[in-house]
A and B are shown apart, each in its own frame.
Chain A
Amino acid sequence: MERYDVAVIGGGMVGTAIGYGCAERGARVIVLDEGDVALRAARGNFGLVWGQSKGDGMPAYGAWTRLSITLWPSLAERVSGFAGRDVCYSPVGGLTFCLSEQELAERRDFVHRRHNQGHGTVRIVDRRELLEMMPGCRLGPEVVGASYDPTDGHVDPLTLLRGLHAGLRAAGGVHLPGAPVVAIEPVGGEYRIARADGAAVMARRIVVAAGVATTRIAAMVGLDVPVRPVRGQNIVTERLAPILPKPASAIRQTGDGTIQIGVTSEDDGILETPTTTAALAKMAARAIRVLPPLASARMVRGWAALRPMTPDGFPAYAESATHPGCFVAVCHSGVTLAAVHAGPMAEAVMGGGMHALAAELHPDRFARMPIQHVPAI
């Protein structure tokens, strides 16, 4: 049986980033993954590298996010190289548009709270400043202002996923897709990991990064991590000439010129990804209020994907107390956090000790906590 230093369970955004990071640091890594049709948020997300809204009520998460954003430029460069095309990371600052005085007042309170929790880069900008920032931008008359964080940005998340996979391979790592992991058992200080198709591998360390399927797999290594799916629907349009220079929390123009419009937060526990015309219509209506010329833009596709969501909405990282060498990593902002996953998190998995900020995000906290319904962005 093949033996590895690290086996990652899940080839989505979190698992691939950690696996790549470990392989780059010299570990013999295998990423075990499901096949072509799978619940894989890595293929269906919005692509923001985003700090302004992260960590309200959990300053350690805010700081962890900021750390990732500082590491992103270097990750972007490496990943673009592996992917063979630009990952289009553009940290041009990010917006959350407000379409009424009331929305703006609420956003102002939010920004105030963020400042009190150590996130100082986000601020409120009014319409005039927005137009100065984005000359000629055809903002709708209802846009009264926005929150703005100059450190925020966006990326092509599909090239990111491809680049992380290519980087994993380039560093000698193995990606084995095609069937889910169904069992993990300790064997003489190592672990035997078995798949539904009968394949099995041995590894000294394990990272459970199975997205919305994390709870079940984490339980196999003595970790209690409640994760539920929160569905998000997306719209993408035909390619357009430049119309929106900065990304916003539910509308951005991609490097390809398409406009991506997001996203619902459907917290119904259902592990399926249909879209609904009703939700898409609402999203389109709001996007048109932000940028009225979009009314004549053609939607090319809609889709839905599931965010892995913990009870308080913040990430969870831990090493198992009962199964040494077994880790879990789960979060709903795996794009933003890809840089810390490929860096500090990979180091932790390889025995370097959990980063102090990640240590504060231990899933033990959930034992004392009711589920909160937090907005995902």
Chain B
Amino acid sequence: MSTDVDLLIVGAGPAGMAAAVTARSRGLTVLLLDENAGPGGQVHRGIEHRAAKDEQDADGAKLAAALRSSAVETRFRATLWAVEPGGKVFWSEEGAARSAVAGRILLCTGATERPLPIPGWTLPGVMTVGAAQIALKTAGLKPQGDVWIAGQGPLLWLYAKQAVEAGGRLAGIVDLSHGIPPAALRHLPRALMAPGYLLKGLAWQRRVKRAGVRVIHAEEIRAEGEGRLARIVVDGTEHAADLLLLHDGVVPNTQITRAIPGCAHDWDAVQACWKPRLDAWGNTTAEGVMVAGDGGGIGGARAAAHAGRLAALEAARALGRMTEDQRNAEAGTERLALNRQLAARPFLDALFPPRPVTAIPDETIICRCEEVTAGKVREAVTLGCLGSNQTKAFTRTGMGPCQGRVCGPVVHAVIAAARGVDPAQVDPFRTRFPTKPLTLGELAALAE
């Protein structure tokens, strides 16, 4: 089959930007799609429109500038929704479906936040920490008033620090983590190879506390209000609240990879998530499809950029633009840097295990689209459902417009806990193309 482009990259976060520039510099034609308005991805969102405030912003600005000055073809507000055998891809742009055939496909679709379902989390006024961070980075919205943060994980502290530094005010942080679990300690020596990471995390916490933000360590939290959030109840104590920001870590966005026939995924017991099975270069088990960045396992922004460059070199090799030896030679420093970035991961992952789903009361909605409660999912298990797919058929969980993006990890964990088995034995939702809703009119226009 003749191709329209050598390498198609989805996602213009650090992984996608770095990969695109590297691939182009090795002579590949590159088409980069992202559904956002510009480059940056999650961590560097809106980077071209705000002043760089820290090291991370500087990284992002550099990547975006390199991308803009390269001959990579970029298309923003372009949402990829199908990958078919033979390198055929489909996306939507300005209300029209488009397609192209690529020599190789590199998915750099990043991470999504692991949902933290608590009673009342469907009330207007309850959002994720990631959402508030996006509001801060893209629109300069800072928290003000009775704004609470609840949950755990490094990103929670990072946002709190960013919010405070931007002049925002937080009523308090409800820390649902459990201190340092013994399992984490055995990863500490390796983590110390990347001390910057750990010190940064501690510094964020100090910065937030210094700003006078109150931190409550708690087991239980509930959101309440009539038609919108009015208060939170933390271990039985009420606090006025007009905004509650939840966070329980991030998980790879595997919506696309899981829809690709033959693309194997494995359960990562430490990060408590599914991730595509990748070789050292980012090749999946599906011919011609690669993954780099957080979409292949959470590693952070810098790791994502290194993984992106490695994947680009491998793409160049696979397309015959360099030999294996050349690829290996050029990859050396990237790989060293990647390993250094990943050194602290096992410690961080063990430090912030997801909140146990046994803490979710039966009446709590876990599928927000179809309004299915944890109790309904548990009931489906008693009716013989072993995994997410039969449960979906029995309860409609995961059938709404988000297609299980939000509820997927929780439904999976609730089923595993209800069955009392290792989550690795519980099948996740099968995703399907189109992975994002598109109009029937757009789709029909593709019919010959």
**Direct contact between the two chains A and B in their complex (CB within 8 A):** yes
**Residues on A close to B: CB < 8 A?**
11, 33, 35-37, 43, 158, 161-162, 165-166, 169, 175, 177-178, 235, 237-238, 256, 261, 272, 274-278, 280-282, 284-285, 287-288, 294-303
B400: nearest chain-A partner, CB-CB: A300
User: Quick check: B387 and A36 within 8 Å, CB to CB?
Assistant: yes
User: Quick check: B388 and A36 within 8 Å, CB to CB?
Assistant: yes
Question: Chain A residues near B394 (CB, 8 Å)?
Answer: 158, 161-162, 165
User: Quick check: B446 and A277 within 8 Å, CB to CB?
Assistant: yes
Q: Is B384 an interface residue (CB 8 A)?
A: yes
Q: Which of B385, B400, B437, B447 contacts A281 (CB 8 A)?
A: B447
Chain A proximity mask over B430-445: 1 for CB below 8 Å, otherwise 0: 1011100111110111
A178: nearest chain-B partner, CB-CB: B386
User: Quick check: B440 and A297 within 8 Å, CB to CB?
Assistant: yes
Q: Is B197 an interface residue (CB 8 A)?
A: no
Q: Is B82 an interface residue (CB 8 A)?
A: yes
- The interface on chain B, measured as residues whose beta carbon lies within 8 A of the other chain's beta carbons, has a size of 38
Could you list 15 A-B pairs, sorted by A, with CB under 8 Å? Answer: A37-B389, A177-B384, A177-B390, A238-B437, A277-B99, A280-B434, A285-B444, A294-B440, A295-B439, A296-B440, A297-B440, A298-B440, A299-B437, A300-B399, A303-B432
Q: Which of A35, A256, A288 contacts B427 (CB 8 A)?
A: A35
Whether A275 contacts B439 in the complex (CB less than 8 A), given A36-B385, A284-B447, comes out as no
CA distance A55 to B387 in the complex (A): 37
For residue B187, give the distance in angstroms from its CB to the closest CB of chain A.
Answer: 32
**Residues on B close to A: CB < 8 A?**
82, 84, 90, 99, 261, 380, 383-391, 393-394, 396, 399-401, 403, 426-427, 430, 432-434, 437-441, 443-447
Q: Which of B383, B393, B438, B445 contacts A166 (CB 8 A)?
A: B383
User: Quick check: B447 and A285 within 8 Å, CB to CB?
Assistant: yes
CA distance A44 to B84 in the complex (A): 21
User: Quick check: B384 and A165 within 8 Å, CB to CB?
Assistant: yes
Question: Chain A residues near B90 (CB, 8 Å)?
Answer: 277
User: Quick check: B432 and A158 within 8 Å, CB to CB?
Assistant: no
User: Quick check: A37 and B393 within 8 Å, CB to CB?
Assistant: no
Q: Which of B261, B433, B440 contacts A288 (CB 8 A)?
A: B440
Q: Which of B386, B393, B399, B447 contacts A301 (CB 8 A)?
A: B399
CA distance A136 to B399 in the complex (A): 29
Whether A301 contacts B439 in the complex (CB less than 8 A), given A35-B427, A36-B387, comes out as no
Question: Chain B residues near A235 (CB, 8 Å)?
Answer: 440
Question: Chain A residues near B446 (CB, 8 Å)?
Answer: 277-278, 281
User: Quick check: A301 and B432 within 8 Å, CB to CB?
Assistant: yes
CA distance A166 to B446 in the complex (A): 42
Question: Chain A residues near B432 (CB, 8 Å)?
Answer: 275, 301-303
Question: Chain A residues near B393 (CB, 8 Å)?
Answer: 43, 158, 161-162
A34: nearest chain-B partner, CB-CB: B386
CA distance A298 to B443 in the complex (A): 10
CA distance A165 to B82 in the complex (A): 35
CA distance A165 to B387 in the complex (A): 16
CA distance A322 to B257 in the complex (A): 48
Question: Chain B residues near A303 (CB, 8 Å)?
Answer: 432
User: Quick check: B433 and A299 within 8 Å, CB to CB?
Assistant: no
Question: Chain B residues near A237 (CB, 8 Å)?
Answer: 440
B391: nearest chain-A partner, CB-CB: A36
User: Quick check: B437 and A276 within 8 Å, CB to CB?
Assistant: no
For residue A311, give the distance in angstroms from its CB to the closest CB of chain B.
Answer: 29
CA distance A161 to B380 in the complex (A): 12
User: Quick check: B383 and A162 within 8 Å, CB to CB?
Assistant: yes
User: Quick check: A281 and B433 within 8 Å, CB to CB?
Assistant: no
User: Quick check: B401 and A300 within 8 Å, CB to CB?
Assistant: yes
User: Quick check: B383 and A277 within 8 Å, CB to CB?
Assistant: no
For residue B393, give the distance in angstroms from its CB to the closest CB of chain A.
Answer: 5
User: Quick check: B403 and A299 within 8 Å, CB to CB?
Assistant: no
CA distance A275 to B431 in the complex (A): 11
Question: Chain B residues near A302 (CB, 8 Å)?
Answer: 432-434
| Closest 3 pairs between A and B when the two form their complex, measured CB to CB | A36-B387, A295-B441, A285-B444
User: Quick check: B441 and A296 within 8 Å, CB to CB?
Assistant: yes
Question: Chain A residues near B440 (CB, 8 Å)?
Answer: 235, 237, 261, 284, 287-288, 294-299
For residue B431, give the distance in angstroms from its CB to the closest CB of chain A.
Answer: 9
